[in-house]
């Protein structure tokens, strides 16, 4: 079903071009033959470049031609002349690199766009007093909203609080000069901190039970501390007035602006609900959708035991918003379902589901040591029978599952459920993804290939940083830590790795993420505190990280016949870079800037540095 439109277009194109892609025919010769037979004239020709195609051979060409939003030629400069007419826009790349547009296979654009316009802690390492000062400044700037309007604070890097091990509670916020309820969201998305006013408005007391798939932080007496883990956040968050449709449209527009400047031409919203779909549909209706928008509709743990009802909700959203087969113009696609299997492995949350217990600091103060605790984290949020039945129902309805799993027990139970799915539908092409996979038991490395499961990894986490060192190293113990963020191990085992930024868990910086994917190192630190590579994983090669964020993410989204590589017949989604990804030191990959972003043959972003390049002739 997904490939029908593409195949029809490709067949028509091949007829017009005179079998451009026939085996053994050089691109230049094919172009000349097509030109003489059909006089096909391109809308745009790029030439004199380093065109990195990400085709099956990772071939490099010099030129590329586009007509009606699709690629009609890729090859040498001489062959491009056959496609150039009086009205063709010719872009002289002057040796610059062109590659497929980035496909972000796991992000949260509504939340990401919203963070750009809210009280923002900017992922910084902060002491308690610094955190308080920043929030107080936001309160002071909005005094007219006293005493009852909620203050929402975003991008709190809880795992990096200073000094390491700092624990916050509602008293941290109660000390501020305000009567307003405050909700501080961790950048990881799995923890929030609220003040006493917020707890009171939500009716959270010592007797309030933990919700399914979540936990309230409690002190020794059982009273709520103000820390909310996973589903517990919703108990308080539902008291906050929902954003208006206008707010959501503004957030969607801000997200699209950030995406196109990074070179993202396709994205998956990995936790989609109706307001996000409506916002992006509104943006599209105004002619301002600048990336192909895929949505994984969220099914929550409480919905899991009624799979038919849960899938009926997904079907209803798909009927309303899914726009069918993709073409040159960006559209909305609703063909994925999102399930959270656990939380996060980093301290202080430790809500990732683990096979063996987390370690804890034990012993007398004079002789401390780390040893296994009694906690393996929460139970997987969808018990095995529920998960298997739900996956089958989702697939039966024609949707593809996208699972969140951080801990090795969540990964294993996710793989087990997918195994049941594969046995139920042995011949079906169901593209199942497990996102994050921060800890995977080595016994499960090969199962990703065996079950054709796509690990969607966030490369920027594969570095020494507060969350991986103070937040995870000691809590995991050395046997597990050496496999932390196992991209290289999974690649060696044959897994088809895709990339997802998980923005706004981190700032949206795809090029820094690609740099980390290759080097496994952080940005240079003045004190060298986080210098060196993370764990024993060898990481990925430069071609591997580019394939992960282009072809493999396109495959994940069932879009690989149309995007992910620069080949004749595919959609003209491409980016121009200010330097060559392969010719610079690996550390400088993070400094790459996108000069131009093209979606379906249309320029959706162009930097001032590239302005005016190319004109009709």
User: 132-189, pLDDT tens digit by residue?
Assistant: 999 999 999 999 999 999 999 999 999 889 998 899 999 999 999 999 999 999 987 8
Instruction: Decide if pLDDT at 11 tops 80.
Output: no
Topology alike, domains 4-101+566-616 and 111-237: no
pLDDT band at 614 (very low <50, low <70, confident <90, very high): low
* pLDDT recorded at residue 135: 97
- Four-way CATH pick for 111-237: 3.40.50.720, 3.40.50.970, 3.90.1150.10, 3.10.310.70: 3.10.310.70
* pLDDT recorded at residue 213: 87
* pLDDT recorded at residue 616: 40
Q: Token pair 């999102």 is at which residue?
A: 338
* pLDDT recorded at residue 159: 84
* pLDDT recorded at residue 39: 60
- State how far the Cα of 218 lies from the Cα of 224, in Å rounded to an integer: 4
Looking at per-residue pLDDT, the higher value among 380 and 28 belongs to: 380
pLDDT (mean) for 207-221: 94
Relative orientation angle of helices 307-321 and 274-285, to the nearest 10 degrees? 10
Q: Token pair 């109660």 is at which residue?
A: 174
Token code pair at residue 365: 């103060």
CB atoms within 10 A of CB 269: 29
Q: Is the pTM of this model over 0.85?
A: yes
Contact yes or no for 351/229 (Cβ under 8 A): yes
Q: What is the pLDDT of residues 309-325, one digit of tens each?
A: 999 999 999 999 999 99
- List the strands of the sheet with 63-67, edge to edge: 70-75, 63-67, 44-47, 89-92, 615-616
Instruction: Decide if pLDDT at 25 tops 50.
Output: no
- Cα separation values, 187 from 184, 462, 502, 536, 553, Å: 9, 17, 10, 26, 23
Tell me the chain's radius of gyration from C-alpha atoms: 25
Is domain 4-101+566-616 in CATH 2.30.40.10, yes or no? yes
pLDDT (mean) for 537-566: 98
User: What 8-state DSSP symbol labels residue 552?
Assistant: I
With CA atoms as reference, report the closest residue to 44 among 14, 70, 26, 62. 70
Look at the alpha carbons of 372, 472, 436, 337 in this order and tell me if their dihedral is positive or negative.
Answer: positive
With CA atoms as reference, report the closest residue to 472 among 342, 344, 343. 344
| Sequence ranges of the domains in the chain | 4-101+566-616, 111-237, 245-556
Min mean pLDDT across 269-278, 347-356, 364-373 is at 364-373
Q: Is beta strand 97-100 parallel, antiparallel or unpaired with respect to 50-52?
A: parallel
- State how far the Cα of 280 lies from the Cα of 268, in Å rounded to an integer: 12
pLDDT (mean) for 516-530: 87
Look at the alpha carbons of 171, 176, 182, 188 in this order and tell me if their dihedral is positive or negative.
Answer: negative
- State how far the Cα of 455 lies from the Cα of 175, in Å rounded to an integer: 43
Mean pLDDT taken over the chain: 92
* pLDDT recorded at residue 164: 86
- Strands annotated E in 101-222: 102-107, 119-120, 151-156, 182-186, 191-194, 214-218
Instruction: Decide if pLDDT at 568 tops 70.
Output: yes
- Cα separation values, 596 from 435, 578, 604, Å: 29, 9, 8
Q: What is the 3-state secondary structure (H, E, C) of 437-453?
A: CCCCCHHHCCHHHHCCE
Token code pair at residue 178: 């305000």
The CATH number of 245-556 is 3.20.20.140
Q: What is the pLDDT of residues 244-255, one digit of tens each?
A: 999 999 999 999
Looking at per-residue pLDDT, the higher value among 19 and 450 belongs to: 450
pLDDT (mean) for 111-120: 92
Q: What is the pLDDT of residues 601-611, one digit of tens each?
A: 999 999 998 86
Instruction: Decide if pLDDT at 470 tops 60.
Output: yes
CB atoms within 10 A of CB 141: 10
Q: SS3 for 335?
A: strand
* pLDDT recorded at residue 484: 97
- State how far the Cα of 162 lies from the Cα of 156, in Å rounded to an integer: 12
Instruction: Decide if pLDDT at 60 tops 70.
Output: yes
Q: Token pair 């009205």 is at which residue?
A: 87
Q: Cα 447 to the chain's mean position, in Å?
A: 23
What b-and-e string marks burial along 79-102, b requiring 16 or more CB atoms within 10 Å of the CB? bbbbbbeeebbbbebeebbbbbbb
Instruction: Decide if pLDDT at 328 tops 70.
Output: yes
Q: Is beta strand 453-457 parallel, antiparallel or unpaired with respect to 498-499?
A: parallel
Q: What is the pLDDT of residues 67-78, one digit of tens each?
A: 999 999 999 999
Among the residues of 322-462, which ranges form H helices? 384-396, 408-424, 447-450
- State how far the Cα of 463 lies from the Cα of 427, in Å rounded to an integer: 39
* pLDDT recorded at residue 613: 59
User: What 8-state DSSP symbol labels residue 370?
Assistant: E
């Amino acid at each position: 079903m997904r490939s029908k439109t593409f195949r029809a277009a490709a067949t028509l194109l091949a007829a017009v071009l005179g079998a451009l892609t026939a085996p053994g025919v050089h691109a230049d010769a094919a172009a000349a033959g097509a030109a003489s037979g059909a006089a096909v004239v391109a809308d745009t020709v790029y030439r004199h470049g380093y065109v990195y195609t990400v085709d099956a051979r990772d071939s490099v060409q010099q030129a590329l031609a586009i007509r009606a939003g699709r690629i009609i030629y890729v090859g040498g400069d001489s062959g491009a002349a056959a496609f150039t007419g009086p009205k063709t826009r010719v872009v002289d790349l002057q040796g610059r690199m062109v590659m497929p547009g980035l496909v972000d296979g796991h992000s949260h654009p509504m939340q990401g766009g919203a963070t750009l316009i809210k009280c923002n802690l900017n992922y910084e390492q902060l002491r308690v007093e610094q955190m308080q000062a920043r929030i107080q400044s936001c309160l002071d700037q909005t005094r007219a909203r006293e005493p009852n309007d909620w203050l929402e604070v975003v991008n709190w890097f809880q795992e990096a609080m200073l000094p390491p091990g700092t624990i916050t509670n509602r008293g941290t916020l109660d000390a501020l000069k305000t009567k307003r309820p405050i909700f501080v969201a961790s950048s990881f998305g799995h923890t929030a901190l609220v003040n006493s006013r917020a707890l009171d408005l939500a009716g959270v007391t010592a007797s309030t039970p933990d919700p399914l798939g979540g936990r309230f932080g409690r002190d020794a007496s059982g009273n709520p501390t103000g820390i909310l883990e996973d589903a517990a956040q919703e108990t308080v968050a539902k008291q906050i007035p929902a954003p208006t449709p206008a707010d959501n449209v503004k957030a969607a527009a801000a997200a699209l602006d950030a995406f196109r400047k990074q070179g993202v031409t396709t994205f998956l919203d990995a936790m989609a609900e109706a307001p996000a779909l409506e916002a992006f549909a509104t943006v599209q209706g105004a002619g301002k959708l600048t990336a192909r928008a895929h949505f994984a509709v969220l099914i929550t743990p409480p919905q899991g035991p009624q799979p038919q009802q849960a899938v009926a909700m997904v079907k209803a959203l798909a009927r309303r918003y899914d726009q069918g087969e993709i073409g040159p113009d960006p559209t909305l696609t609703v063909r994925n379902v999102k399930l959270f299997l656990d939380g996060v492995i980093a301290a202080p949350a430790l809500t990732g589901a683990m096979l063996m217990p987390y370690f804890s600091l034990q012993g007398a103060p004079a002789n401390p040591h780390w040893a296994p605790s009694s906690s393996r984290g929460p139970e997987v949020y969808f018990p095995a029978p529920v998960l298997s039945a739900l996956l089958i129902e989702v697939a039966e309805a024609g949707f593809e599952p996208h699972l969140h799993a951080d801990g090795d027990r969540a990964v294993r139970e996710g793989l087990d459920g997918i195994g049941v799915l594969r046995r139920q539908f042995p011949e079906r092409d169901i593209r199942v993804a497990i996102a994050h996979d921060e800890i995977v038991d080595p016994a499960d490395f090969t199962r990703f290939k065996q079950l054709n499961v796509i690990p969607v990894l966030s490369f920027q986490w594969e570095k020494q940083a507060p969350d991986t060192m103070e937040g995870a190293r000691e809590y995991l113990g050395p046997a597990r830590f050496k496999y932390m963020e196992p991209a290289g191990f999974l690649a060696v085992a044959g897994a088809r790795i895709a990339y997802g930024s998980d923005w706004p868990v981190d700032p949206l910086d795809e090029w820094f993420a690609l740099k980390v994917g290759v080097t496994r190192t952080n940005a240079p630190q003045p004190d060298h505190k986080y210098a060196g590579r993370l764990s024993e994983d060898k990481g990925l090669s430069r071609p591997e990280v580019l394939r992960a964020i282009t072809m493999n993410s396109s495959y994940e989204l069932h879009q690989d016949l149309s995007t992910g590589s620069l080949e004749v017949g595919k959609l003209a989604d491409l980016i121009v870079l200010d330097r060559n990804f392969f010719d610079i030191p690996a550390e400088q990959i993070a400094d790459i800037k996108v000069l131009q972003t093209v979606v379906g043959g249309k320029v959706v972003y162009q930097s001032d540095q590239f302005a005016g390049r190319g004109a009709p002739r």
